[in-house]
Structure 1
Protein backbone atom coordinates (compact mmCIF):
# COMPACT_ATOMS: atom_id res chain seq x y z
CA UNK A 1 0.00 0.00 0.00
CA UNK A 2 1.12 3.52 -0.71
CA UNK A 3 1.91 5.00 2.69
CA UNK A 4 4.47 7.67 2.01
CA UNK A 5 3.59 11.33 1.80
CA UNK A 6 4.96 11.82 -1.72
CA UNK A 7 2.48 9.35 -3.23
CA UNK A 8 -0.38 10.96 -1.32
CA UNK A 9 0.66 14.38 -2.61
CA UNK A 10 0.81 13.24 -6.24
CA UNK A 11 -2.56 11.54 -6.09
CA UNK A 12 -4.07 14.41 -4.18
CA UNK A 13 -2.82 16.86 -6.78
CA UNK A 14 -4.28 14.80 -9.59
CA UNK A 15 -7.67 14.25 -8.03
CA UNK A 16 -8.05 17.97 -7.37
CA UNK A 17 -7.66 18.59 -11.10
CA UNK A 18 -10.26 15.97 -12.02
CA UNK A 19 -13.60 17.15 -13.37
CA UNK A 20 -16.47 15.63 -11.47
CA UNK A 21 -18.15 16.18 -8.15
CA UNK A 22 -15.85 19.00 -7.17
CA UNK A 23 -13.91 20.84 -9.86
CA UNK A 24 -11.41 23.01 -8.01
CA UNK A 25 -9.17 23.64 -11.01
CA UNK A 26 -5.40 23.22 -10.74
CA UNK A 27 -4.50 23.48 -7.08
CA UNK A 28 -1.04 22.90 -5.72
CA UNK A 29 -1.68 20.24 -3.11
CA UNK A 30 0.72 21.01 -0.30
CA UNK A 31 0.13 24.73 0.00
CA UNK A 32 -3.65 24.74 -0.37
CA UNK A 33 -5.37 21.52 0.58
CA UNK A 34 -3.90 21.36 4.06
CA UNK A 35 -5.32 24.81 4.77
CA UNK A 36 -8.73 23.82 3.45
CA UNK A 37 -9.73 20.18 3.74
CA UNK A 38 -8.33 16.67 3.52
CA UNK A 39 -8.03 14.78 0.27
CA UNK A 40 -11.12 12.69 0.98
CA UNK A 41 -13.40 15.72 0.84
CA UNK A 42 -12.28 16.38 -2.74
CA UNK A 43 -13.75 13.11 -3.98
CA UNK A 44 -16.45 12.38 -1.40
CA UNK A 45 -20.17 12.99 -1.78
CA UNK A 46 -20.96 16.07 0.32
CA UNK A 47 -24.71 16.43 -0.13
CA UNK A 48 -25.51 13.26 1.82
CA UNK A 49 -29.02 11.91 2.23
CA UNK A 50 -29.60 10.55 5.71
CA UNK A 51 -32.54 9.42 7.82
CA UNK A 52 -33.33 9.90 11.53
CA UNK A 53 -33.18 6.92 13.92
CA UNK A 54 -36.99 6.97 14.15
CA UNK A 55 -37.47 6.39 10.41
CA UNK A 56 -39.33 3.15 9.64
CA UNK A 57 -37.22 0.36 8.18
CA UNK A 58 -39.41 0.10 5.10
CA UNK A 59 -39.07 3.84 4.44
CA UNK A 60 -35.30 3.74 4.83
CA UNK A 61 -35.08 0.81 2.41
CA UNK A 62 -37.31 2.65 -0.05
CA UNK A 63 -34.92 5.62 0.09
CA UNK A 64 -31.93 3.36 -0.52
CA UNK A 65 -33.67 1.70 -3.44
CA UNK A 66 -34.87 4.92 -5.09
CA UNK A 67 -31.44 6.54 -4.78
CA UNK A 68 -29.43 3.43 -5.65
CA UNK A 69 -27.57 3.45 -2.31
CA UNK A 70 -25.89 0.48 -0.65
CA UNK A 71 -25.69 2.37 2.62
CA UNK A 72 -27.60 5.14 4.37
CA UNK A 73 -26.29 7.22 7.29
CA UNK A 74 -28.58 7.62 10.29
CA UNK A 75 -28.39 11.07 11.89
CA UNK A 76 -30.24 13.16 14.45
CA UNK A 77 -32.96 15.10 12.66
CA UNK A 78 -31.91 18.50 13.99
CA UNK A 79 -28.16 18.40 14.51
CA UNK A 80 -27.29 15.88 11.75
CA UNK A 81 -24.89 14.19 14.17
CA UNK A 82 -24.08 10.69 13.01
CA UNK A 83 -25.75 7.94 15.06
CA UNK A 84 -25.24 4.95 12.82
CA UNK A 85 -25.47 3.55 9.33
CA UNK A 86 -27.76 1.02 7.70
CA UNK A 87 -26.32 -0.99 4.82
CA UNK A 88 -27.61 -3.50 2.32
CA UNK A 89 -25.85 -6.09 4.50
CA UNK A 90 -27.96 -5.04 7.49
CA UNK A 91 -31.09 -5.44 5.38
CA UNK A 92 -30.04 -8.91 4.22
CA UNK A 93 -29.31 -9.84 7.84
CA UNK A 94 -32.76 -8.57 8.85
CA UNK A 95 -34.46 -10.53 6.05
CA UNK A 96 -33.36 -13.81 7.58
CA UNK A 97 -29.65 -14.13 7.24
CA UNK A 98 -28.52 -13.37 10.78
CA UNK A 99 -29.13 -12.03 14.25
CA UNK A 100 -31.20 -9.02 13.10
CA UNK A 101 -33.88 -11.45 11.92
CA UNK A 102 -34.80 -11.84 15.60
CA UNK A 103 -36.72 -8.61 15.19
CA UNK A 104 -39.07 -10.56 12.91
CA UNK A 105 -38.97 -14.00 14.49
CA UNK A 106 -38.97 -13.08 18.18
CA UNK A 107 -40.33 -9.58 18.71
CA UNK A 108 -43.05 -9.88 16.07
CA UNK A 109 -43.59 -13.66 16.00
CA UNK A 110 -42.74 -13.90 12.30
CA UNK A 111 -44.97 -11.01 11.24
CA UNK A 112 -42.80 -9.31 8.65
CA UNK A 113 -45.26 -6.50 7.99
CA UNK A 114 -45.04 -5.41 11.63
CA UNK A 115 -41.25 -5.77 11.72
CA UNK A 116 -40.55 -3.52 8.70
CA UNK A 117 -42.51 -0.75 10.42
CA UNK A 118 -40.06 -0.72 13.34
CA UNK A 119 -37.58 2.18 13.51
CA UNK A 120 -34.34 1.88 11.58
CA UNK A 121 -32.33 2.16 14.82
CA UNK A 122 -33.30 -1.45 15.55
CA UNK A 123 -31.18 -2.80 12.69
CA UNK A 124 -28.59 -0.07 12.00
CA UNK A 125 -24.91 -0.45 12.77
CA UNK A 126 -24.33 1.96 15.64
CA UNK A 127 -21.05 3.90 15.97
CA UNK A 128 -19.75 2.99 12.49
CA UNK A 129 -16.18 3.49 11.33
CA UNK A 130 -15.77 7.07 10.12
CA UNK A 131 -13.27 9.45 8.54
CA UNK A 132 -12.52 12.99 9.64
CA UNK A 133 -12.84 15.92 7.24
CA UNK A 134 -9.06 16.34 7.14
CA UNK A 135 -8.34 12.68 6.35
CA UNK A 136 -6.16 11.67 3.41
CA UNK A 137 -6.77 9.01 0.79
CA UNK A 138 -4.22 6.72 2.43
CA UNK A 139 -6.28 6.92 5.65
CA UNK A 140 -9.36 5.80 3.75
CA UNK A 141 -7.45 3.00 2.01
CA UNK A 142 -6.19 1.61 5.29
CA UNK A 143 -9.75 1.25 6.53
CA UNK A 144 -11.38 0.10 3.28
CA UNK A 145 -8.73 -2.52 2.59
CA UNK A 146 -7.81 -3.42 6.15
CA UNK A 147 -11.34 -3.71 7.53
CA UNK A 148 -13.17 -4.50 4.28
CA UNK A 149 -15.60 -1.61 4.64
CA UNK A 150 -17.14 -0.36 1.41
CA UNK A 151 -18.29 3.06 2.57
CA UNK A 152 -17.19 5.51 5.23
CA UNK A 153 -19.20 8.45 6.61
CA UNK A 154 -17.13 11.60 7.01
CA UNK A 155 -17.73 13.68 10.14
CA UNK A 156 -16.50 17.05 11.35
CA UNK A 157 -14.97 17.78 14.76
CA UNK A 158 -18.31 17.53 16.62
CA UNK A 159 -19.56 14.38 14.92
CA UNK A 160 -21.80 16.08 12.36
CA UNK A 161 -22.12 14.25 9.05
CA UNK A 162 -20.12 16.10 6.38
CA UNK A 163 -19.95 13.56 3.56
CA UNK A 164 -19.54 9.93 2.61
CA UNK A 165 -16.69 8.17 0.79
CA UNK A 166 -17.10 4.81 -0.93
CA UNK A 167 -14.68 2.36 -2.45
CA UNK A 168 -16.09 3.39 -5.83
CA UNK A 169 -15.02 7.00 -5.20
CA UNK A 170 -11.52 5.81 -4.37
CA UNK A 171 -11.46 3.49 -7.38
CA UNK A 172 -12.16 6.44 -9.70
CA UNK A 173 -8.91 8.02 -8.53
CA UNK A 174 -6.74 4.93 -8.31
CA UNK A 175 -7.87 3.52 -11.66
CA UNK A 176 -6.19 6.45 -13.42
CA UNK A 177 -2.85 4.89 -12.47
CA UNK A 178 -1.39 2.38 -14.92
CA UNK A 179 -1.14 -1.13 -13.54
CA UNK A 180 0.67 -4.15 -15.01
CA UNK A 181 -1.85 -6.49 -13.37
CA UNK A 182 -4.56 -8.49 -15.08
CA UNK A 183 -7.93 -9.64 -13.78
CA UNK A 184 -6.59 -13.13 -13.07
CA UNK A 185 -4.03 -11.61 -10.68
CA UNK A 186 -6.65 -10.04 -8.40
CA UNK A 187 -9.88 -12.04 -8.83
CA UNK A 188 -11.37 -14.43 -6.31
CA UNK A 189 -11.41 -17.96 -7.68
CA UNK A 190 -12.83 -19.90 -4.72
CA UNK A 191 -16.44 -18.86 -5.12
CA UNK A 192 -19.60 -19.50 -3.19
CA UNK A 193 -22.41 -19.89 -5.72
CA UNK A 194 -26.14 -20.51 -5.67
CA UNK A 195 -28.78 -21.93 -8.02
CA UNK A 196 -31.67 -20.13 -9.76
CA UNK A 197 -34.26 -22.04 -7.71
CA UNK A 198 -32.54 -21.46 -4.36
CA UNK A 199 -34.95 -19.71 -1.97
CA UNK A 200 -34.19 -16.12 -1.05
CA UNK A 201 -33.83 -17.24 2.58
CA UNK A 202 -30.89 -19.52 1.71
CA UNK A 203 -29.16 -16.74 -0.24
CA UNK A 204 -29.53 -14.19 2.57
CA UNK A 205 -28.09 -16.69 5.03
CA UNK A 206 -25.08 -17.38 2.79
CA UNK A 207 -24.49 -13.65 2.22
CA UNK A 208 -24.59 -12.94 5.94
CA UNK A 209 -22.54 -15.96 7.00
CA UNK A 210 -19.76 -15.42 4.45
CA UNK A 211 -20.07 -11.61 4.37
CA UNK A 212 -20.66 -11.51 0.62
CA UNK A 213 -22.55 -8.74 -1.18
CA UNK A 214 -23.23 -10.91 -4.22
CA UNK A 215 -23.38 -14.54 -5.35
CA UNK A 216 -23.01 -15.97 -8.86
CA UNK A 217 -26.07 -18.00 -9.88
CA UNK A 218 -25.14 -21.23 -11.66
CA UNK A 219 -27.42 -23.60 -13.58
CA UNK A 220 -25.98 -26.81 -15.09
CA UNK A 221 -22.43 -25.41 -14.82
CA UNK A 222 -23.48 -22.32 -16.79
CA UNK A 223 -23.55 -18.82 -15.35
CA UNK A 224 -27.21 -17.87 -15.09
CA UNK A 225 -26.59 -14.47 -13.56
CA UNK A 226 -25.51 -12.79 -10.35
CA UNK A 227 -27.65 -11.95 -7.33
CA UNK A 228 -26.68 -9.02 -5.16
CA UNK A 229 -27.74 -7.73 -1.78
CA UNK A 230 -29.07 -4.70 -3.64
CA UNK A 231 -31.33 -6.90 -5.80
CA UNK A 232 -32.87 -8.41 -2.68
CA UNK A 233 -33.16 -5.05 -0.97
CA UNK A 234 -34.80 -3.57 -4.09
CA UNK A 235 -37.46 -6.26 -3.89
CA UNK A 236 -38.35 -4.99 -0.43
CA UNK A 237 -37.81 -1.30 -1.21
CA UNK A 238 -40.21 -0.99 -4.11
CA UNK A 239 -42.85 -2.80 -2.05
CA UNK A 240 -43.40 -5.69 -4.45
CA UNK A 241 -42.95 -7.86 -1.42
CA UNK A 242 -46.29 -6.75 0.02
CA UNK A 243 -48.19 -8.07 -2.99
CA UNK A 244 -47.13 -11.56 -1.89
CA UNK A 245 -47.74 -11.07 1.80
CA UNK A 246 -51.06 -12.77 2.49
CA UNK A 247 -50.78 -13.62 6.15
CA UNK A 248 -47.87 -11.35 7.05
CA UNK A 249 -45.57 -14.37 7.39
CA UNK A 250 -42.09 -13.63 6.05
CA UNK A 251 -41.68 -17.26 4.96
CA UNK A 252 -44.10 -16.63 2.08
CA UNK A 253 -41.64 -14.17 0.61
CA UNK A 254 -38.36 -15.73 1.63
CA UNK A 255 -39.23 -19.05 -0.03
CA UNK A 256 -39.45 -17.42 -3.45
CA UNK A 257 -36.72 -18.60 -5.87
CA UNK A 258 -33.85 -16.16 -6.20
CA UNK A 259 -34.24 -16.02 -9.99
CA UNK A 260 -37.38 -13.90 -9.52
CA UNK A 261 -35.24 -11.06 -8.13
CA UNK A 262 -32.31 -10.99 -10.50
CA UNK A 263 -31.54 -7.89 -12.56
CA UNK A 264 -31.56 -7.98 -16.36
CA UNK A 265 -28.18 -7.44 -18.04
CA UNK A 266 -25.21 -9.59 -17.14
CA UNK A 267 -21.74 -8.17 -17.80
CA UNK A 268 -18.65 -10.37 -17.65
CA UNK A 269 -14.91 -10.11 -18.17
CA UNK A 270 -11.92 -12.31 -18.94
CA UNK A 271 -8.80 -13.35 -17.04
CA UNK A 272 -6.41 -11.49 -19.36
CA UNK A 273 -8.12 -8.12 -19.20
CA UNK A 274 -5.94 -5.39 -17.61
CA UNK A 275 -7.39 -4.29 -14.30
CA UNK A 276 -7.51 -0.67 -15.50
CA UNK A 277 -9.98 -1.72 -18.19
CA UNK A 278 -12.00 -3.79 -15.72
CA UNK A 279 -12.17 -0.82 -13.36
CA UNK A 280 -13.27 1.46 -16.18
CA UNK A 281 -16.05 -0.94 -17.18
CA UNK A 282 -17.34 -1.19 -13.61
CA UNK A 283 -17.39 2.57 -13.23
CA UNK A 284 -19.07 3.15 -16.60
CA UNK A 285 -21.72 0.49 -15.98
CA UNK A 286 -22.19 1.42 -12.32
CA UNK A 287 -21.70 -2.16 -11.16
CA UNK A 288 -19.71 -3.56 -8.26
CA UNK A 289 -18.37 -6.80 -9.72
CA UNK A 290 -17.67 -8.70 -12.92
CA UNK A 291 -17.86 -12.51 -13.24
CA UNK A 292 -14.75 -13.86 -14.97
CA UNK A 293 -15.42 -16.28 -17.84
CA UNK A 294 -12.92 -18.63 -19.48
CA UNK A 295 -13.97 -21.17 -22.14
CA UNK A 296 -17.59 -20.40 -21.33
CA UNK A 297 -17.10 -21.34 -17.68
CA UNK A 298 -17.13 -19.18 -14.56
CA UNK A 299 -13.59 -19.15 -13.15
CA UNK A 300 -13.68 -16.18 -10.81
CA UNK A 301 -15.19 -12.91 -9.68
CA UNK A 302 -13.50 -9.51 -9.56
CA UNK A 303 -15.05 -6.81 -7.38
CA UNK A 304 -14.52 -3.12 -6.68
CA UNK A 305 -12.84 -4.12 -3.44
CA UNK A 306 -10.42 -6.46 -5.27
CA UNK A 307 -9.43 -3.60 -7.58
CA UNK A 308 -9.04 -1.01 -4.83
CA UNK A 309 -6.83 -3.43 -2.90
CA UNK A 310 -4.73 -4.22 -5.98
CA UNK A 311 -4.17 -0.58 -6.93
CA UNK A 312 -3.36 0.40 -3.35
CA UNK A 313 -0.78 -2.36 -2.87
CA UNK A 314 1.29 -1.49 -5.94
Structure 2
Protein backbone atom coordinates (compact mmCIF):
# COMPACT_ATOMS: atom_id res chain seq x y z
CA UNK A 1 0.00 0.00 0.00
CA UNK A 2 1.69 3.18 -1.12
CA UNK A 3 1.33 6.57 0.52
CA UNK A 4 -0.14 7.86 -2.74
CA UNK A 5 -2.92 5.30 -2.62
CA UNK A 6 -3.46 6.08 1.04
CA UNK A 7 -4.00 9.74 0.22
CA UNK A 8 -6.45 8.88 -2.56
CA UNK A 9 -8.48 6.73 -0.16
CA UNK A 10 -8.23 9.35 2.57
CA UNK A 11 -9.64 12.03 0.25
CA UNK A 12 -12.43 9.74 -0.92
CA UNK A 13 -13.30 8.80 2.64
CA UNK A 14 -13.33 12.44 3.77
CA UNK A 15 -15.56 13.48 0.87
CA UNK A 16 -17.87 10.59 1.59
CA UNK A 17 -18.37 11.69 5.19
CA UNK A 18 -18.41 15.41 4.53
CA UNK A 19 -17.22 18.19 6.88
CA UNK A 20 -17.65 16.41 10.20
CA UNK A 21 -15.71 16.20 13.44
CA UNK A 22 -12.74 13.87 13.80
CA UNK A 23 -14.60 11.51 16.12
CA UNK A 24 -17.47 11.08 13.67
CA UNK A 25 -15.05 10.02 10.96
CA UNK A 26 -14.56 6.79 12.86
CA UNK A 27 -17.73 5.35 11.50
CA UNK A 28 -19.91 2.54 12.79
CA UNK A 29 -21.70 2.30 9.45
CA UNK A 30 -21.94 -1.11 7.86
CA UNK A 31 -19.32 -1.69 5.17
CA UNK A 32 -17.22 1.39 5.98
CA UNK A 33 -14.20 -0.76 6.83
CA UNK A 34 -13.59 -1.12 3.09
CA UNK A 35 -13.16 2.65 2.69
CA UNK A 36 -9.86 2.63 4.58
CA UNK A 37 -8.70 -0.98 4.27
CA UNK A 38 -5.93 -1.72 1.77
CA UNK A 39 -7.10 -3.75 -1.21
CA UNK A 40 -3.54 -4.32 -2.43
CA UNK A 41 -3.18 -7.68 -0.72
CA UNK A 42 -0.15 -9.91 -1.23
CA UNK A 43 -0.72 -13.54 -0.30
CA UNK A 44 1.48 -16.62 -0.33
CA UNK A 45 0.67 -20.36 -0.37
CA UNK A 46 1.43 -22.46 2.73
CA UNK A 47 4.17 -24.29 0.82
CA UNK A 48 6.27 -21.11 0.69
CA UNK A 49 9.44 -21.42 2.76
CA UNK A 50 9.97 -19.38 5.90
CA UNK A 51 12.77 -17.57 4.07
CA UNK A 52 10.51 -16.96 1.08
CA UNK A 53 7.81 -15.48 3.31
CA UNK A 54 10.33 -13.23 5.05
CA UNK A 55 11.68 -11.99 1.72
CA UNK A 56 8.16 -11.26 0.48
CA UNK A 57 7.41 -9.23 3.61
CA UNK A 58 10.67 -7.30 3.21
CA UNK A 59 10.07 -6.64 -0.50
CA UNK A 60 6.58 -5.22 0.03
CA UNK A 61 7.31 -3.61 3.42
CA UNK A 62 4.47 -5.60 5.00
CA UNK A 63 4.42 -6.77 8.61
CA UNK A 64 1.84 -9.50 7.93
CA UNK A 65 0.97 -11.84 5.08
CA UNK A 66 -2.24 -13.81 4.63
CA UNK A 67 -1.57 -17.40 3.59
CA UNK A 68 -4.03 -18.82 1.08
CA UNK A 69 -4.64 -22.26 -0.35
CA UNK A 70 -3.22 -22.29 -3.88
CA UNK A 71 -6.21 -24.15 -5.28
CA UNK A 72 -9.16 -22.40 -3.68
CA UNK A 73 -7.49 -19.09 -2.76
CA UNK A 74 -9.17 -19.32 0.65
CA UNK A 75 -7.25 -18.03 3.64
CA UNK A 76 -5.68 -20.77 5.78
CA UNK A 77 -3.29 -18.77 7.95
CA UNK A 78 -1.38 -15.57 8.54
CA UNK A 79 2.23 -14.78 9.41
CA UNK A 80 3.58 -11.59 10.97
CA UNK A 81 6.97 -10.02 11.61
CA UNK A 82 6.51 -10.95 15.27
CA UNK A 83 6.12 -14.60 14.24
CA UNK A 84 9.47 -14.34 12.45
CA UNK A 85 11.03 -12.80 15.57
CA UNK A 86 9.50 -15.69 17.55
CA UNK A 87 11.12 -18.17 15.15
CA UNK A 88 14.47 -16.39 15.46
CA UNK A 89 14.61 -16.65 19.22
CA UNK A 90 11.38 -15.68 20.83
CA UNK A 91 9.13 -18.49 22.00
CA UNK A 92 7.30 -21.59 20.80
CA UNK A 93 8.14 -21.08 17.13
CA UNK A 94 11.83 -21.09 18.03
CA UNK A 95 11.40 -24.71 19.08
CA UNK A 96 11.23 -25.62 15.38
CA UNK A 97 14.76 -24.29 14.96
CA UNK A 98 16.10 -25.75 18.19
CA UNK A 99 14.44 -29.14 18.40
CA UNK A 100 13.65 -30.33 14.90
CA UNK A 101 16.62 -28.76 13.16
CA UNK A 102 19.08 -28.79 16.08
CA UNK A 103 19.82 -25.07 15.62
CA UNK A 104 20.67 -25.50 11.94
CA UNK A 105 19.41 -22.16 10.63
CA UNK A 106 20.12 -22.94 6.97
CA UNK A 107 17.87 -25.99 7.11
CA UNK A 108 15.15 -24.42 9.26
CA UNK A 109 14.51 -21.40 7.02
CA UNK A 110 13.74 -23.76 4.13
CA UNK A 111 10.87 -25.35 6.07
CA UNK A 112 7.40 -24.34 4.89
CA UNK A 113 5.72 -21.30 6.44
CA UNK A 114 2.81 -23.49 7.58
CA UNK A 115 5.08 -24.62 10.43
CA UNK A 116 5.05 -21.19 12.09
CA UNK A 117 1.94 -19.49 10.66
CA UNK A 118 -1.08 -18.69 12.82
CA UNK A 119 -3.90 -20.99 11.70
CA UNK A 120 -6.69 -19.43 13.76
CA UNK A 121 -7.07 -16.32 11.65
CA UNK A 122 -9.23 -13.50 12.97
CA UNK A 123 -11.06 -11.98 10.00
CA UNK A 124 -13.97 -9.65 9.24
CA UNK A 125 -16.47 -9.60 6.42
CA UNK A 126 -16.86 -6.84 3.86
CA UNK A 127 -19.90 -5.40 5.64
CA UNK A 128 -18.05 -4.69 8.88
CA UNK A 129 -17.76 -1.16 10.27
CA UNK A 130 -14.53 0.62 11.18
CA UNK A 131 -15.59 0.65 14.83
CA UNK A 132 -16.01 -3.11 14.77
CA UNK A 133 -12.51 -3.51 13.32
CA UNK A 134 -11.04 -1.30 16.06
CA UNK A 135 -12.75 -3.27 18.81
CA UNK A 136 -11.57 -6.59 17.39
CA UNK A 137 -7.95 -5.38 17.15
CA UNK A 138 -7.99 -4.37 20.80
CA UNK A 139 -9.86 -7.44 22.07
CA UNK A 140 -7.70 -9.91 20.12
CA UNK A 141 -4.47 -7.92 20.54
CA UNK A 142 -3.68 -8.01 16.83
CA UNK A 143 -2.34 -5.37 14.48
CA UNK A 144 -4.23 -6.24 11.32
CA UNK A 145 -7.32 -8.08 10.13
CA UNK A 146 -8.00 -9.66 6.72
CA UNK A 147 -11.36 -8.70 5.22
CA UNK A 148 -12.90 -11.75 3.54
CA UNK A 149 -15.87 -12.45 1.31
CA UNK A 150 -18.49 -15.17 1.74
CA UNK A 151 -16.08 -17.80 0.38
CA UNK A 152 -13.34 -16.84 2.85
CA UNK A 153 -11.22 -15.22 0.14
CA UNK A 154 -9.24 -12.15 1.17
CA UNK A 155 -10.47 -8.91 -0.38
CA UNK A 156 -8.56 -6.40 1.75
CA UNK A 157 -6.66 -5.91 4.99
CA UNK A 158 -7.19 -3.26 7.65
CA UNK A 159 -4.26 -2.57 9.95
CA UNK A 160 -3.15 -0.27 12.73
CA UNK A 161 -1.22 1.61 10.09
CA UNK A 162 -4.50 2.51 8.35
CA UNK A 163 -5.80 4.00 11.59
CA UNK A 164 -2.66 6.09 12.02
CA UNK A 165 -3.08 7.28 8.46
CA UNK A 166 -6.65 8.34 9.32
CA UNK A 167 -5.22 10.60 12.06
CA UNK A 168 -2.55 12.08 9.77
CA UNK A 169 -2.38 15.85 10.38
CA UNK A 170 -5.90 15.90 11.83
CA UNK A 171 -6.64 18.25 14.72
CA UNK A 172 -7.83 15.64 17.21
CA UNK A 173 -7.70 17.77 20.40
CA UNK A 174 -6.01 14.77 22.02
CA UNK A 175 -2.41 14.91 23.15
CA UNK A 176 0.26 12.23 23.05
CA UNK A 177 0.66 12.19 26.84
CA UNK A 178 -2.96 11.04 27.23
CA UNK A 179 -2.38 7.77 25.34
CA UNK A 180 1.34 7.03 25.42
CA UNK A 181 2.70 4.09 27.41
CA UNK A 182 4.56 5.56 30.37
CA UNK A 183 6.14 2.40 31.76
CA UNK A 184 8.65 1.98 28.97
CA UNK A 185 10.70 -1.19 28.81
CA UNK A 186 14.07 -0.53 27.20
CA UNK A 187 16.95 -2.84 26.40
CA UNK A 188 20.73 -2.56 26.22
CA UNK A 189 22.51 -2.27 22.85
CA UNK A 190 24.65 -5.24 23.91
CA UNK A 191 21.67 -7.58 24.37
CA UNK A 192 21.83 -10.52 21.91
CA UNK A 193 19.30 -10.49 19.08
CA UNK A 194 17.82 -13.77 20.33
CA UNK A 195 17.15 -12.23 23.75
CA UNK A 196 15.58 -9.14 22.20
CA UNK A 197 13.29 -11.39 20.15
CA UNK A 198 12.45 -13.35 23.29
CA UNK A 199 11.55 -10.12 25.10
CA UNK A 200 9.23 -9.17 22.24
CA UNK A 201 7.30 -12.42 22.65
CA UNK A 202 7.32 -12.32 26.46
CA UNK A 203 6.00 -8.77 26.65
CA UNK A 204 3.94 -8.82 23.45
CA UNK A 205 5.77 -5.77 22.06
CA UNK A 206 6.99 -5.37 18.49
CA UNK A 207 9.57 -2.76 19.44
CA UNK A 208 11.86 -1.58 22.22
CA UNK A 209 13.82 1.63 22.78
CA UNK A 210 17.52 0.88 23.13
CA UNK A 211 19.26 2.87 25.85
CA UNK A 212 22.97 3.18 26.57
CA UNK A 213 24.01 4.68 29.91
CA UNK A 214 20.55 6.19 30.29
CA UNK A 215 20.60 7.83 26.85
CA UNK A 216 18.30 6.82 23.98
CA UNK A 217 20.56 4.96 21.56
CA UNK A 218 18.01 3.76 18.99
CA UNK A 219 15.02 1.48 18.38
CA UNK A 220 14.82 -2.24 17.68
CA UNK A 221 11.69 -3.72 16.10
CA UNK A 222 10.36 -7.08 14.96
CA UNK A 223 10.72 -5.73 11.42
CA UNK A 224 14.46 -5.23 12.06
CA UNK A 225 14.73 -8.90 13.05
CA UNK A 226 12.75 -9.82 9.93
CA UNK A 227 15.08 -7.70 7.78
CA UNK A 228 18.13 -9.35 9.37
CA UNK A 229 16.88 -12.72 8.15
CA UNK A 230 15.30 -11.74 4.82
CA UNK A 231 18.22 -9.62 3.61
CA UNK A 232 20.59 -12.55 4.10
CA UNK A 233 22.71 -10.55 6.57
CA UNK A 234 22.12 -13.25 9.17
CA UNK A 235 24.05 -15.74 7.05
CA UNK A 236 27.12 -13.49 6.97
CA UNK A 237 27.46 -14.14 10.69
CA UNK A 238 27.51 -17.92 10.32
CA UNK A 239 30.74 -19.85 10.48
CA UNK A 240 28.94 -23.17 10.59
CA UNK A 241 25.15 -23.46 10.22
CA UNK A 242 24.55 -23.00 13.96
CA UNK A 243 21.94 -20.32 14.56
CA UNK A 244 23.54 -19.12 17.80
CA UNK A 245 26.44 -17.66 15.82
CA UNK A 246 24.01 -15.24 14.18
CA UNK A 247 21.54 -14.79 17.03
CA UNK A 248 24.14 -13.98 19.70
CA UNK A 249 25.04 -10.82 17.76
CA UNK A 250 24.20 -7.69 19.83
CA UNK A 251 21.14 -5.68 18.83
CA UNK A 252 23.26 -2.56 18.31
CA UNK A 253 24.11 -3.98 14.88
CA UNK A 254 20.42 -3.84 13.90
CA UNK A 255 19.04 -0.78 15.67
CA UNK A 256 17.70 2.26 13.92
CA UNK A 257 19.91 5.01 15.35
CA UNK A 258 18.23 8.01 13.72
CA UNK A 259 15.30 8.06 16.09
CA UNK A 260 12.31 10.32 15.43
CA UNK A 261 10.86 11.51 18.75
CA UNK A 262 7.84 13.52 19.82
CA UNK A 263 7.01 15.78 22.77
CA UNK A 264 4.23 14.73 25.18
CA UNK A 265 2.05 17.81 24.55
CA UNK A 266 1.87 17.26 20.77
CA UNK A 267 -1.53 16.57 19.18
CA UNK A 268 -2.12 12.96 18.15
CA UNK A 269 -2.70 14.11 14.57
CA UNK A 270 0.76 15.67 14.42
CA UNK A 271 2.29 12.52 15.91
CA UNK A 272 0.48 10.47 13.27
CA UNK A 273 1.94 12.67 10.54
CA UNK A 274 5.46 12.03 11.85
CA UNK A 275 4.82 8.29 11.77
CA UNK A 276 3.30 8.32 8.28
CA UNK A 277 5.96 10.63 6.85
CA UNK A 278 8.83 8.56 8.27
CA UNK A 279 7.14 5.16 7.72
CA UNK A 280 7.55 4.09 11.33
CA UNK A 281 5.21 2.40 13.79
CA UNK A 282 6.10 4.23 17.00
CA UNK A 283 7.59 7.37 18.47
CA UNK A 284 9.60 7.62 21.69
CA UNK A 285 8.18 10.47 23.75
CA UNK A 286 10.92 12.78 25.03
CA UNK A 287 10.56 15.63 27.51
CA UNK A 288 13.60 17.74 28.41
CA UNK A 289 15.86 15.13 26.77
CA UNK A 290 14.39 12.39 28.96
CA UNK A 291 12.48 9.37 27.63
CA UNK A 292 9.08 9.58 29.34
CA UNK A 293 6.98 7.26 27.18
CA UNK A 294 6.32 5.70 23.80
CA UNK A 295 3.37 6.15 21.47
CA UNK A 296 2.56 3.30 19.09
CA UNK A 297 0.01 2.54 16.39
CA UNK A 298 -2.02 0.59 18.95
CA UNK A 299 -2.38 3.73 21.05
CA UNK A 300 -4.12 5.49 18.16
CA UNK A 301 -6.76 2.77 18.20
CA UNK A 302 -7.14 3.09 21.97
CA UNK A 303 -7.74 6.82 21.54
CA UNK A 304 -10.82 6.07 19.44
CA UNK A 305 -12.53 3.47 21.62
Could you tell me the TM-score, scaled by structure 1's length?
Answer: 0.87
Q: 1:112 to 1:274 in 2, by over 3 A?
A: same
Cα drift, residue 180 of structure 1: 2.4
Please say if 1:101 is aligned against 2:120: no
Equivalent residue runs for 1:1-314 within 5 Å: 19-20=8-9, 23=12, 26-27=15-16, 38-174=31-167, 178-310=171-303, 312-313=304-305
Q: Deviations over 1:134-154 (max 9, x none)?
A: 111011011122222111011
Moved over 4 A (4+): 21-29, 174-177
Q: 1:108 to 1:45 in 2, by over 3 A?
A: same
Segment drifting more, 19-28 vs 58-67: 19-28
For 1:136 and 1:20, how far apart are their aligned partners in 2?
16
Unmatched 5+ stretches in structure 1: 1-17, 30-36
Cα drift, residue 171 of structure 1: 2.7
Indicate if the aligned counterparts of 1:104 and 1:112 stay in contact, CA closer than 8 A: yes
Cα drift, residue 178 of structure 1: 3.5
Q: Tell me, what secondary structure is at the counterpart of 1:227?
A: strand
Indicate if the aligned counterparts of 1:174 and 1:308 stay in contact, CA closer than 8 A: no
Indicate if the aligned counterparts of 2:193 and 2:248 stay in contact, CA closer than 8 A: yes
Q: 1:79 to 1:198 in 2, by over 3 A?
A: same
Q: Tell me, what secondary structure is at the counterpart of 1:102?
A: helix
Aligned residues: 288
For 2:61 and 2:114, how far apart are their aligned partners in 1?
21
Cα drift, residue 21 of structure 1: 7.4
Cα drift, residue 54 of structure 1: 0.4
Could you tell me the TM-score, scaled by structure 2's length?
Answer: 0.89
Q: Deviations over 1:240-268 (max 9, x none)?
A: 11122221111001100101012352100
Indicate if the aligned counterparts of 1:22 and 1:42 stay in contact, CA closer than 8 A: no
Indicate if the aligned counterparts of 1:198 and 1:257 stay in contact, CA closer than 8 A: yes
For 2:302 and 2:274, how far apart are their aligned partners in 1?
17
For 1:83 and 1:55, how far apart are their aligned partners in 2?
13
Cα drift, residue 43 of structure 1: 1.4
Q: Tell me, what secondary structure is at the counterpart of 2:150?
A: coil
Indicate if the aligned counterparts of 2:171 and 2:267 stay in contact, CA closer than 8 A: no
Cα drift, residue 301 of structure 1: 0.4
For 2:74 and 2:169, how far apart are their aligned partners in 1?
34
Q: Deviations over 1:45-80 (max 9, x none)?
A: 112111100000001001101111110110011321
Q: Please, what is the CA RMSD of the aligned residues?
A: 1.9
Cα drift, residue 20 of structure 1: 3.1
